[in-house]
Amino acid sequence: MKLDFIDLGKLSISKANMRCAKTLPDVSDILPTLRARGVIVPLLVRPGAVEGDYEIVAGARRYIAARIIARETGEAEPLPCAILEDGDDADALEASLIENVARRDADAVTQWETYTRLVREGRSPADIAVTFGLPEPGVRRILALGNLLPRIRDLHRKDAIDAATVRHLTLASKARQKAWLALFDDGDAWCPTGHQLKDWLFGGAAIKAEHALFNVEASGLALITDLFGEDRYFANSDAFWQHQDAAIAARRDAYLEDGWSDVVVLPRGEHFSVWAHRKAAKRRGGRIYVEVRRSGEVTFHEAYVFSPSF
- Distance between CA atoms of residues 146 and 127, nearest Å: 19
The angle that helices 125-132 and 89-102 make with each other, rounded to 10 degrees, is 50
pLDDT at 119: 84
The lowest-confidence range among 41-50, 91-100, 247-256 is: 91-100
pLDDT at 292: 96
At the second CATH level, the architecture of 2-106 is Alpha-Beta Complex (3.90)
pLDDT at 310: 47
Average pLDDT, the chain: 83
pLDDT at 239: 92
Phi-psi region of 136 (alpha: psi -120 to 50; beta: other; left: phi over 0): alpha
pLDDT at 204: 66
pLDDT > 70: percent of the chain: 86
CB 227 within 8 A of CB 144: yes
- Give mean pLDDT, residues 34-56: 83
Which of the pair, 207 or 121, is modelled with greater confidence? Answer: 207
Q: Where in the chain is the domain with CATH 3.90.1530.10?
A: 2-106
- Give mean pLDDT, residues 72-91: 75
CB 111 within 8 A of CB 36: no
The lowest-confidence range among 96-110, 122-136, 164-178 is: 96-110
Say yes or no to pLDDT of 283 above 80. yes
Most confident range, picked from 11-25, 137-151, 231-245:
231-245
124: number of CA atoms within 13 Å, CB side?
4
pLDDT at 309: 61
- Give mean pLDDT, residues 275-300: 93
- Distance between CA atoms of residues 295 and 268, nearest Å: 10
- Give mean pLDDT, residues 147-173: 86
Report which secondary-structure segment, H or E, holds 6. Answer: strand 2-6
pLDDT at 104: 47
pLDDT > 90: percent of the chain: 34
Say yes or no to pLDDT of 223 above 80. yes
pLDDT at 168: 84
